[in-house]
Amino acid sequence: MTPPTHTAARPARASARARPSRRRLRWGIVGLLLAGALVALLWGTFHQAVREIALPLRHEDIIRQQAADKGLDPSLIAAVIYAESRFVAGRTSSAGAEGLMQITPDTAKGIAKRSGGTAFVLEDLATPQVNIAYGSYLLREHLDRYRGDVAAALAAYNAGPGKADEWGGAALRVQDIPYAETRHYVEKVIRARREYRERYARELGL
């Protein structure tokens, strides 16, 4: 008599072996998705860090407030701060200019007198609020003096209105600025202004 065979049990064992294989496949897919999400997160963080190093932005709330108060483009204020100090607080130039927008004590005293800042003391220039307020006030004055011409206003901010008048005033063209330092400064601010508008439109309220 031929002994009974057990072929019916073999498919069950094969199916049992297949189940762990499918679980491993599912976990592998989940692992890949999680790894992809992690890479995307790290890449976004890295990209943001690179942007902050190359084109930093700080005190955007003060910049927006001063821009609204003085009728200025916030990206222009940000660009001047970038050119003057790269948003590093506490800087003092060889000429004694202070803070984020590099305001000299004599200039600050004049602005305080013209703007009614009776409580102003020179130590206030170390605070971002006061420094950006005074720098924005000066920018507004120069723009008004040169009928809105940005190149002339920036030349005056860097080299003084006397020099900007001498070089052509409201008719000044960047390429005609004879001082290389001032010409490069104006070019740098104009370029940075465009970049701030492109990269930080939301932060600057544009």
Closest-CA residue to 54 (of 82, 77, 89, 92): 82
Among 52, 84, 181, 203, the active-site one is 84
Q: What is the DSSP letter of 201?
A: T
Beta strands of the chain (E only): which ranges? none
Asked if 79 and 96 touch (Cβ cutoff 8 Å), the reply is: no
Helix (H, G, I), strand (E, B) or coil at 148: coil
Q: What is the DSSP letter of 169?
A: G
Q: Is 84 an annotated catalytic residue?
A: yes
How far apart CA 48 and CA 204 sit, in angstroms, is 16
**The dihedral sign for the CA sequence 166, 169, 175, 177:** positive
Task: Tokens 């004599």: give the residue.
Answer: 106
| Burial environment of residue 45 by CB neighbours within 10 A (0 to 12, 13 to 18, 19 or more) | exposed
Q: What is the DSSP letter of 176?
A: G
For residue 103, report the phi and psi dihedrals to the nearest 5 degrees. Answer: -100, 130
Question: Catalytic residue positions?
Answer: 84
